[in-house]
Amino acid sequence: MLKVDNISFAYDKLPVLKNVSFTIEKGRHIALIGASGCGKSTLLKIIYGLLHVQEGELSWDGTKILGPHFNLVPGEENMKYLSQGFELQSYRSVAENIGQYLSNFQPELKQGRVHELLDIVEMSDFANTKVENLSGGQKQRVALAKALAKRPELLLLDEPFGNIDNFRRSSLRRNLFRYLKRNKITSITATHDKTDILSFADQTIVIRQGEILTQEDTITLYQNPTDYYIASLFGEVNEIQLSSFTTSDSQDTILVYPHEIEVNPNSMTKARVKNAYFNGGYYLIEAVLDNTILFFNHHSKLIAPKMVGITIPEEIIEKRKQI
């Protein structure tokens, strides 16, 4: 179990993390989300032992993480941290990089392990290619394989798929998290990508300006966002006046995702279409309702300045009213 107990951290005088506490059970996958600059990378570096906390304590399986003031070689033995820049040896081959820290005592074992890792990151065809001849996305995949090579107990990933094209990203993500689950490797992934969060994170930790806002089961958090900041980290979201959709005359608002709003010609609530953005399987419609911008999904393009009736299902209204 990872235990982070009331840590605070500042670069020089700039406080970045404030009284951060949470625990993570072994084998769980955690997404770490928050606006750019909120302290995600800093937190990962602290957990890995690259930065020394001014206040608080951390432990992994009951053993205190001492940080760089106490470890000769920075970085905890049983963890791996994959940073946004990848530390690879560019003049050596992909296979040599992945196997760099593996024992040479049993060459067949080492070779088998390197092949297994090449397969996970879909880089088998590049085993003998020098890293300097790879693209950014390919380097990122090699760095990931290298981080997994020595079977870390805790894997810390900082935007791990940022440079990887969409096509590759989906299968890589599936391969990686399947491997981590099978091998009971705990992971924390700092990310801005909603798919990393929704499909693969058991739990999500939300940070705002260096403070933990919440740690919650991912699906529960998505379905019951307690504030606009949290909901907006999953993508577009609307803050809607209840009075626009119900007979209520209260000033209360609820959070509604674009896919939860339905076009219904019979609805008394009419919005004026402003723009339609093609999104593949649907259009994201930007409309104006009661002088406020509103986003909803629609299967076909709607042309401005058309007036459309819209509704929100009763159960969504009731659920969000209670948050």
Residue ranges in contact with ligand ATP by CB under 6 A: 11, 14, 16, 34, 36-42, 190
Tell the smallest beta-carbon distance from residue 271 to ligand ATP (Å): 33
Tell the smallest beta-carbon distance from residue 14 to ligand ATP (Å): 6
Closest to ligand ATP by CB, 134 or 190:
190
Closest to ligand ATP by CB, 45 or 298:
45
Q: Are 27 and 181 in contact (CB under 8 A)?
A: yes
At 271, which helix (H) or strand (E)?
strand 270-278
Backbone φ/ψ region at 75: left (φ over 0), alpha (ψ -120 to 50), beta? left
- Measured distance CA(272)–CA(176) in Å, rounded: 44
Tell the smallest beta-carbon distance from residue 183 to ligand ATP (Å): 26
CA dist 18 to 15, 217, 219, Å? Answer: 7, 23, 26
Closest to ligand ATP by CB, 87 or 132:
87
- Measured distance CA(289)–CA(304) in Å, rounded: 13
Tell the smallest beta-carbon distance from residue 35 to ligand ATP (Å): 7
Closest to ligand ATP by CB, 37 or 75:
37
Count CB-CB contacts under 10 A for residue 61: 11
Tell the smallest beta-carbon distance from residue 117 to ligand ATP (Å): 26
At 42, which helix (H) or strand (E)?
helix 40-48
Closest to ligand ATP by CB, 117 or 230:
230
CB-based burial label for 55 (10 Å; 0-12, 13-18, 19+): middle
